[in-house]
Structure 1
Amino acid sequence: MFTILRSQKSSRPSRVLCNLVRSYSSLPSSSDVSSFNSFSKSAASALDVDTTRSFQKPPPTPIPEDDTPLGSILRKTIDAAGPMPLARYMTLCLGHPEHGYYTTKEDVLGEKGDFITSPEISQVFGELIAIWLITRWQANGSPSSVRLLELGPGRGTLMADILRTFKQFSFMAETIQTVDLVESSPVMREAQKKALEPYLKRKDGSHVQIRWFDRIEEVPVSDAYTLFSAHEFFDALPIHLLERVPPPLEPEPSPVTTSPSPENTDLSKPHFHELLVTYTPPSPAFHFTLSVEPTPYSTYIPTTSAEFEKVEIGQRIEVGAVGFGIMRRLGALLFEGKNAGGGSGLVIDYGKDGFYSESFRAFKAHAALSPFLTPGLSDLTTNVNFSHLRTALLASPFGSQIRPLGPISQADFLEQMGLIPRVDGLVRGKPDETGKRIRQGAERLVDREGMGTEYVFFGLEGKPKEPSQRDNDQAVWPFV
């Protein structure tokens, strides 16, 4: 049938997963919102164009002809306080209350927006994620109370597809107590509410509650089992850009010094300075400048992971300190303290196990451009260092309770979760043109020269605690 039904004992999916995939793949298309609900006109028209935010090196920064309102504010800030960390620049560009990209632009996705995401391309993306979440819920004893959590839900398309799929398995759907969404934009919240409302009604007539939070720190610990997703969330978080520099010259020994000073002891460790954002009048163009001295961030961040010891002198590294903290908070929500109910989930983004040096870029109208051009009017993004996120979990006080999974490529995850049989089921009985578009969308998701390898899946779940968690100590499909 498909690779999902491999027979090798060492690398086969569970019987539960096989049964779920068979049931799900054979669902009639009438059970869907439409034959391909997320294959909107905007997605279909973009099939032959790379409109995702995957890596495209932007052109050099030109001198802006027309300033933006935020650009003027940034220059005044630099005039008053000096060059700013890249993380501060990104935070203002994306989240300034009056001139930020996400706080002022109503539609960032689709043909009229600046980029498109996998859930908008094909409904199968969210459906396969839902199937994986169900299998992990069952593997962990089928808890009677479930909380769904999504970081950065966009227009709600992914969560809507997850809820719609859960509806086909009522034994699971009836356990959902709340849907918690980390989203600060009022515009996006309204879109999410509209997308999710059709799937919130229970059999008894009651409704699953939606709760919104501006920040993950506001999400409460719950004794419910948490199933979470974070799709293209970590790539939009602010980063710091550091450069390794030669160690300072060791001072001449003092006649009165009998033991090495702390400074001398530190000379054997990597030294980093921080790249700061500034501009040089009379030109209004923004650019980087290297800090003269170490900054608090360039001193602390390299201590969070041993991988930074491998950086060579003169090499730059992008470090997501905010993402590091959010991943640790996510782990705490699931596993820290006696009231945490545990959980499983997926982080999907473009990235790799390792650091990047120059992935920082901007997108506007589906094209890459310099991140220093049109501040506040374009999306900013960077690739994700998944090894740093893993370290955030394992080095935490609750690290012994966590099992990280992957990362593996998007193509491997979707194909081995049953993408082909599901697409076959969707196109059955459809007009030729409709079927063609459905297949094109699915093929784009797993294209190994594009989205299929640029995007990766990183899983997370707790280690087994109870005997009822019958297969949680085995390899987790498809992370094998």
Structure 2
Amino acid sequence: MRANSLNLVRTAGRSARPRRIPTKCAIRWSSTGERQWSTPLAKQLTEAITTTGPISVAAYMRQCLTSDSGGYYTRQTTGHDQFGTKGDFITSPEISQIFGELVGIWLYTEWIAQGKSGKVQIMEVGPGRGTLMSDVLRTISSFKPFAKSVGSIYMVEASEQLRKQQAQLLSGTAELTETDIGWSAPCKYIPGCNITWCEDIRFVPKEESATPFILAHEFFDALPIHVFQNVPSSKIPSSSTIVTPTGPIAPKTGPHTLKNHWHELVVAPLPEPDTPSTSSTSTPNPPPEFHLTVSKTPTPHSLYLPQLSSRYKKLEKIDDAIIEISPESLSYVSDFAVRIGGDNPPSSTSSPSAARPTTTYTPTASTKPEPFKKPQPSGAALILDYGPADTIPANTFRGIRSHTTCSPFTSPGLVDLSADVDFLALAESTLNASPGVEVHGPVEQAFFLGTMGIKERAERLLQGAKDEEVKRRLETAWKRLVDRGPTGMGRIYKAMAILPYIEGGKVRRPVGFGGDVVG
């Protein structure tokens, strides 16, 4: 979860706000009266909001994480590493090599179960330092027939700095060759196979004859979210009509009728404190520079996104209910589904493009992209992330720095931001996007890794280890991955799989989700 130290309280089946822990995220003001911002990005955000008004949480997250002006993942800082014990969080592949090895074996078992046919296309979105893909490819290289079937490898990564780290690990060089869709370098694990880096998944080609295997580990939790609150006795002007890809949307009531309505929670700067702080960056508990406020008027997203699912509509009469929705997550998982099972017919209103509203443009038949047709569904997607298994996330937006949670509104660009993943929303969008897929899970990470044989693999490694300190680290690492305590990774993390739909309705559960190796 970017940090295993995340402390969450579960109440009444809904995620509560993470407990805020003091951290060294400082903010300073000068004694001369000129406000001094913690980061250049904080100042830039404030200037933009002052000009155009409060922004959505999604826009705030996008800027803080990927802005060219100092985003968390895109800033160019020599010697800074977000990952690992010396960074801000540690991920499962960094904890133990066994994690990536078992993911590689999972891909191998799926390749066997699907008849070992087709040219394999391996893809990872948000690959971090490349540790997971390195362990996956090293494992695959041990299965020669599978390795020979791999025709292409794609890494979807927006950060130039991280691309270089990944290339050094996967190709043995940070020198990448520019291509028409990104950058390329040879794979050191599979001779004759190239790795291509793309800034966006849309640049990764869809191939009708390819068998795509897609990995998304701790990816969806970092995608921008919109936050909505159900405000009782809300007055929404009847003129608040927006145009979406599926048609216009207008409020259900007139200007003088009071009714519950979804209002978007938006980000605005906090006023300068009456007593400015003159302390240094070591301030133990600095005040945040931004905060959430309820939008008084409708936003396009507040009229559109809460209508996407019956799950949200069931909360329309609950005063002050809060929901978090990530349209980018729905778009990405829909893309996965289309690559595996092909697109829905053109008349469908549940295509991936429907996840993005617009107020100025309605697609016509001539401008809509041609649906991707796949004669035979094939491939798989494995999603590993954290979030509730069967509820809508609420109040889960958090910042993480130095392995502790902190305010997401402090030191923009220096703090990692994330939110719980809505797995049921991912499943719903997956099934809506393609007739050729089915969804398995989510299951707890402890169950997935346990049935994949993590204990047995750890025992083999322990038998080969001669140093007692190495044995201790191996033992601690694998048990941490399957810990089912209240904040344990084995409980909080979930696994979900997208597989080809089998005609006739026969269900084949994959390995790690209650099934056995078949083929």
Alignment TM-score > 0.5, same fold: yes
2:474 to 433, 438, 451: 438
- Among 199, 203, 210, the alignment partner of 1:224 is 210
Comparing 325-334 with 292-301, greater Cα deviation is found at: 325-334
Q: How far does residue 342 in structure 1 lie from its aligned partner after superposition?
A: 2.7
Summarize deviations over 1:168-206 as a string: whole Å, max 9, x none: 111111100111111011111111112212693588xx5
C-alpha RMSD over aligned residues: 2.8
Q: 5 Å matches for 1:270-349?
A: 271-283=261-273, 285-311=289-315, 312-336=318-342, 337-339=372-374, 342-349=378-385
2:20 to 44, 58, 63: 58
- Distance of aligned partners of 1:250 and 1:413 in 2 relative to their CA distance in 1, 3 Å threshold: closer
Aligned position for 1:239 = 225
Query: Which residue does 2:347 correspond to in 1?
Result: none
Please say if residues 147 and 178 of structure 1, whose CA atoms lie closer than 8 Å, have aligned partners that are also in contact. yes
Picking from 125, 144, 147, the partner of 2:99 is 125
Question: Is 2:70 aligned against 1:94?
Answer: no
Query: Of the candidates 459, 464, 471, which is equivalent to residue 502 of structure 2?
Result: 464
Aligned counterpart for 1:368 among listed residues 387, 394, 405: 405
Q: How far has the Cα of 1:282 moved from its partner? A: 3.4
Q: How far did 1:73 drift?
A: 0.7
- 1:472 Cα shift? 7.6
- Does the 8 Å CA contact 1:63/1:285 hold for their aligned counterparts? no
Match in the other structure for 1:474: 508
Structure 1 partner of 2:361:
none
Q: 1:114-148: CA deviations, max 9, x gaps?
A: 11000000011011111111111111111141000
Asked if the contact 2:98/2:454 (under 8 Å) is kept, the reply is yes
Change (3 A) 1:269 1:156: farther
Matches within 5 A, 1:56-455: 56-59=18-21, 64-65=27-28, 67=37, 68-104=39-75, 105=77, 106-197=80-171, 200=187, 206-222=191-207, 223-246=209-232, 248=234, 263-264=252-253, 271-283=261-273, 285-311=289-315, 312-336=318-342, 337-339=372-374, 342-352=378-388, 353-396=390-433, 398=434, 400-430=435-465, 431-449=467-485, 450-455=488-493
1:191/1:244 Cα in 2 relative to 1: closer, same or farther (>3 Å)?
Answer: same
Distance (whole Å) between structure 2 residues aligned to residue 170 and residue 335 of structure 1: 27
Normalising to structure 2: TM-score of the pair? 0.75
SS at match of 1:220: coil
Task: Determine if contact 2:230/2:321 at 8 Å carries over to the other structure.
Answer: yes
Identity %: 37
Q: Any stretches of 5+ residues in structure 1 without a counterpart?
A: 1-48, 252-260
CA distance in 2, matches of 1:265, 1:425: 69
Q: Which amino acid aligns with 1:370?
A: S
1:211/1:244 Cα in 2 relative to 1: closer, same or farther (>3 Å)?
Answer: same
Change (3 A) 1:291 1:160: same
Q: Does the 8 A contact of 2:58 with 2:224 survive in 1?
A: yes
What's the offset of the Cα at 1:474?
Answer: 2.4
Task: Using the TM superposition, give the Cα deviation of residue 476 of structure 1 relative to its aligned residue in structure 2, in angstroms.
Answer: 2.4
Contact 2:67 2:74 in 1 (8 A): yes
Question: Which amino acid in the other structure matches residue 414 of structure 1?
Answer: L
Distance in 2, Cα, partners of 1:153 & 1:286? 30
Conserved 8 A contact 1:145-1:176: yes
* TM-aligned CA deviation for residue 108 of structure 1: 0.6
Residues 447 and 354 (structure 1), Cα distance of their counterparts in 2 relative to 1, 3 Å cut:
same
Assess if the C-alpha contact under 8 Å between 1:85 and 1:240 holds in 2.
yes
**Partner-residue secondary structure (3-state), 2:443:** strand
Q: C-alpha separation between the residues in 2 aligned to 1:57 and 1:282? A: 25
| Equivalent AA in structure 2 for residue 421 of structure 1 | E
Q: Structure 1 residues 133, 52: closer, same or farther in 2, change over 3 A?
A: farther
Task: Provide the residue aligned with 1:29 in structure 2.
Answer: none
Q: Which residue of 1 aligns with 2:182?
A: none
Partner of 1:16: none
**Given the superposition, is the C-alpha separation of residues 50 and 438 from structure 1 closer, same or farther in structure 2, using an over 3 Å criterion?**
same
Structure with greater proportional helix content: 1
User: 2:162 is paired with a residue of what secondary structure?
Assistant: helix
Contact 1:216 1:330 in 2 (8 A): no
> What is the CA-CA distance between 1:377 and the residue it aligns to?
0.8
* 1:221–1:334 Cα contact (<8 Å) kept: no
Helix, strand or coil: the match of 2:167? Answer: helix
Cross-structure match for 1:38 = none
Distance (Å, rounded) in 2 between the aligned partners of 1:291 and 1:86? 12
- Preserved CA contact (<8 Å) 2:340 2:437: no
Distance 1:262 1:228, change over 3 A: closer
Verify the 8 A CA contact 2:120 2:150 in the aligned structure 1.
Answer: yes
Q: Tell which deviates more after alignment, 164-173 or 270-279.
A: 270-279
Cα deviation for residue 157 of structure 1 reads 0.6
Q: In 1, Cα distance between the equivalents of 2:462 and 2:189?
A: 30
1:301–1:319: 8 Å Cα contact kept in structure 2? yes
- 5+ residue gaps, structure 2: 9-17, 30-36, 173-185, 238-249, 274-287, 343-371, 515-519
Cα deviations by residue, 1:275-312 (Å, 9 ceiling, x for unpaired): 01112433483111111122110111111111112322
Taking a change above 3 Å as real, the CA distance of residues 111 and 76 of structure 1, as seen in their structure-2 partners, is same
Secondary structure of 1:101 counterpart: coil
- Aligned partner letter, 1:426: L
Structure 1 window deviating more from structure 2 (281-290 vs 421-430): it is 281-290
Q: Does the CA contact (< 8 Å) of 2:26 and 2:411 recur in 1?
A: no
CA distance in 1, matches of 2:197, 2:22: 39
Q: Distance in 2 between matches of 1:52 and 1:192?
A: 26
